[in-house]
Structure formats: C-alpha cells, structure tokens
Amino acid sequence: MSKYLIDKFLYTVDRDPDLVERYRSEPAELVTWWEAARANTVLNCITGESSTWLRFTDDERQALIAHDHVRLFELGAHPFLTLTLFIAMFERDNKEPLEYQKAFGARLAHFDLPYPDIAT
C-alpha cells in the first residue's frame, strides 16, 4: 500500500502538460515509464540521489493504467489530486458545463462516510 506514491504520481503528472497528454492517450506506457524513471526521484534532488524503494502494488498500477478514479478513491489517493488531473484529461470532452465533474461524483455515489483514509 503506497498512497504516497499514488499521490506523487498524480502530483507530478498533473503539473506537466506533456505528461498530462501522455497519461490521457497512452496510460499504460506513461504509468510504466513513470514508475521506472520517476517514482524514486526525490523532487528536490539530483538523479544520483534518488530513493531506492518506491514501487506500486499491482492493484495500484492497474488502477492508474485503467484511469480508474473510483478505485483510486477507494485506495485513499488524495481526492483533490485525482480530481484535478482527471478534469485536465477529460473535461475537454464535456458537452455541457460540469458534465465530467458531475459524472465523476456520481460514479462515487456508493461511498458513505467515513471515506477511505487519505493520510500518508
């Protein structure tokens, strides 16, 4: 269980326009590349000082590749990060204002309080 790493993925992809597009169009390629090349990068450090121990569980990797934001919510990914990145990828397909945002919420309708813990 690596909520921190899921959040790190969402955070680092969301802030890079090229990665947002790659994640939208080629999620398996992007997630695989990111885990190999970026998961262990300490954001404020040079490459030679990367971490050595971070990897996704199979479940987490699969949820990210499938763009499965419901499963990410269930796994305790930070909902603000998920929402922001998924809006960036899919709001452009809206036919009416807030269509994607409302559908995103509706797909989570089966969750009651307390929601999955997001503490990392």
Contact footprint for other proteins (CB under 8 A): 4, 7-8, 11, 14-15, 17, 42-44, 73, 78-84, 87-88, 91, 98, 101-102, 104-106, 108-111, 113-115, 118-120
Looking at beta carbons only, is 46 or 106 nearer to other proteins? 106
Cβ pair 9, 58 in contact under 8 A? no
Looking at beta carbons only, is 28 or 37 nearer to other proteins? 37
Looking at beta carbons only, is 28 or 103 nearer to other proteins? 103
Q: Two tokens at 81?
A: 């990060």
Q: Two tokens at 89?
A: 């990828």
Instruction: Compute the least distance from the CB of residue 25 to other proteins, in Å.
Output: 17
